[in-house]
Every structure is written in C-alpha cells, then in structure tokens.
Amino acid sequence: MRSSRPAVHPVEAPPPQGENADGAPLAARMKDTQGAPGTPGGLGLRLVQVFFAAASLAAMVSTNDFASVTAFCYLVAALILQCLWSLSLALVDIYALLVKRSLRNLQASCIFSIGDLITGTLTLGAACASAGITVLIGNDLEICAGNHCASFMTATAMAFISWFALAPSCVLNFWSVASRL
C-alpha cells in the first residue's frame, strides 16, 4: 500500500497569482481597466481634470469682482483643491507608467477613491452654486451689462467639465475598492 501513495499532495500547485515581489510581471499580466489609476486612460482623465479646473480658475480670477460673491470664492477654493489633487494623481500615474508598475494596491485605491469623492462633491457643489448665481444674474435679474457674465459662465462650464472628467475616476476607484473587500 505504501507504493500507492507516491506523494502527499498529488494536485499540482496552481500558477502563482496575486502580487509578486517586484510587481512588474503582475502589472504586465493583469488587465487594468482603462481609466483606472496607473493606466494611460487614467492619466488622460487626470490631465483633463487639471486642464479644465485650471481654465475655470483662470476665467474666474480674471474677473476683478468675483470676491464680492461668496459662491465664486468657494468655487475658486474648490478648483484650487481640485487642481492640486488631480495634478498629484497625474504625477503618480506618470510615475506608475514610467516604471511599469500597477497601482492596484488596496490602500492606494482607498485613498484615491475617498479623495476623489471629497474633491468631486466639493467641485460639483461649487459649480452648481456658481451656475445658480450666473443664471440669476443673466436670466432672472438680467443685469449682465454691469457684470462679467461671460467669464462667470465660462468658469462654471469648465468646472462642470472638470467634474465630469472626475466622475469616472471616482467610480472606477470606488469600484476597484469595493470589488476587493
């Protein structure tokens, strides 16, 4: 009977999965969703966010009387935060692409998704508040003559575009965290 037990574990070990020591073969093997952190799509989304947030900021700051309206000051603050956040994540994405490392780390995804949720909510709120006031000035009160309606509208529209570019990043990060917990 001893001869019928050639090995204790006759089942072959499965090919190694999960993270390996240096991470590089894993990044090459696993298919990242385009738009997730560490992919060209994700970097593109971040650059779009930075570009439109900066353009919105420039349009708003170019008016000399934005500081007299609280909502416009809040938009400027939210856009500065959005610029800094998206720019830092764009740099992280560039680094990940250069060294060909995957950013599918759970802690990193957690931080990215919480940060995206917070900046997204702030930017959406600020853009909506500015839109409300721009429509009030332009359509309801019709006092565009004495105000910089065009700049306010441009800044609001750019802030919305920046938020629309942030939404997929946020959803993908949140999805990536939720599907692994």
Smallest gap from residue 41 Cβ to its own copies (A): 19
Which residue has tokens 């004495």? Answer: 146
Query: Which residues make beta-bridge pairs with 34?
Result: 36
Amino acid at 58: A
Tokens, residue 131 = 């839109």
Rounded to whole angstroms, the Cα distance separating 55 from 64 reads 16
Q: Judged by CB, which is closer to its own copies: 84, or 136?
A: 136
Query: For binding to its own copies (CB under 8 A), which residues are involved?
Result: 3-6, 10-11, 68-71, 74, 121, 124-126, 128-133, 135-136, 139-140, 174-175, 178-179, 181
In which residue are the tokens 């575009």 written?
Answer: 161
- Least Å distance between CB 140 and its own copies? 6
Shortest Å, Cβ 80 to its own copies: 18
Smallest gap from Cβ 5 to its own copies, in A, equals: 7
The CA distance from 177 to 170, in Å, is 11
**Residue keyed to tokens 């934005």:** 66
Nearer to its own copies among residue 90 and residue 113 (C-beta): 113
Using the minimum distance from each CB to its own copies, give the nearer residue, 39 or 113: 113
Pick the closer one to its own copies by CB: 11 or 28. Answer: 11
Helix (H) or strand (E) holding 46: helix 40-61
Nearer to its own copies, 90 or 134 (CB): 134
Q: Give how far the C-alpha of residue 58 lies from the chain's centroid of Cα atoms, to the nearest Å.
A: 20
The minimum distance between CB 94 and its own copies, in angstroms, equals 27
The two three-digit tokens of residue 80, written as one number: 């500065």
Q: How far is the CB of 176 from its own copies (least distance, A)?
A: 8
- CA 51 to CA 17: how far, in whole Å? 38
3-state secondary structure (DSSP) of residue 23: coil
- Of 66 and 90, which CB lies nearer to its own copies in the complex structure? 66
